[in-house]
Amino acid sequence: GAVVSQHPSRVICKSGTSVKIECRSLDFQATTMFWYRQFPKQSLMLMATSNEGSKATYEQGVEKDKFLINHASLTLSTLTVTSAHPEDSSFYICSASGTGAYNEQFFGPGTRLTVL
């Protein structure tokens, strides 16, 4: 149990375009979902925390107008990178909590975004 999926796994886009990444909890209802970004050989940096039906809480330094998060249901959250630029190229990982014995987060497989 506790499977989280992400789609797409890889995406290449041109500078200035927008990219949407989906995160789904497949076998449980996620009360909270999280979005992280990870640069090569760096740790996961929390971007935002998302609760179903409410606005996401963004970490300091993360532009909420650039990284749009929608958490429409207890099993789906989306991250849209608007007007993407090469510096946005990174590994984006979502996680969900709500079913673990320790409220641990279950991570999706990640999305590799490359902006040309």
Partner 1 sequence: GQNIDQPTEMTATEGAIVQINCTYQTSGFNGLFWYQQHAGEAPTFLSYNVLDGLEEKGRFSSFLSRSKGYSYLLLKELQMKDSASYLCAVNSNSGYALNFGKGTSLLVTP
Which of 69, 108, 113, 115 touches partner 1 by CB under 8 A? 108
Residue 16's Cβ-side half-sphere holds a number of Cα atoms within 13 Å equal to 0
SS3 86: helix
Measured from the CB atom, the residue of 8 and 109 that comes closer to partner 1 is 109
Residue 80 found at the interface with partner 1 (CB under 8 A):
no
Helix (H) or strand (E) holding 34: strand 32-38
71 in Cβ contact with 80 (< 8 Å): no
User: Are the CB atoms for 24 and 94 separated by under 8 Å?
Assistant: no
If one asks whether residue 8 binds partner 1 (CB under 8 A), the answer comes out as: no
Smallest Cα–Cα separation from 72: which of 33, 113, 18, 103? 33
102 scored as a contact of partner 1 (CB under 8 A):
yes
Q: What is the closest distance, in whole angstroms, from the C-beta atom of residue 65 to partner 1 in the complex?
A: 21
Q: In the set 69, 97, 113, 115, which binds partner 1 (CB under 8 A)?
A: 97
Query: Which residue number, 14 or 54, has a Cβ lying nearer to partner 1?
Result: 54
Q: How many residues bind partner 1 (CB under 8 A)?
A: 24
103 belongs to the binding site for partner 1 (CB under 8 A): yes
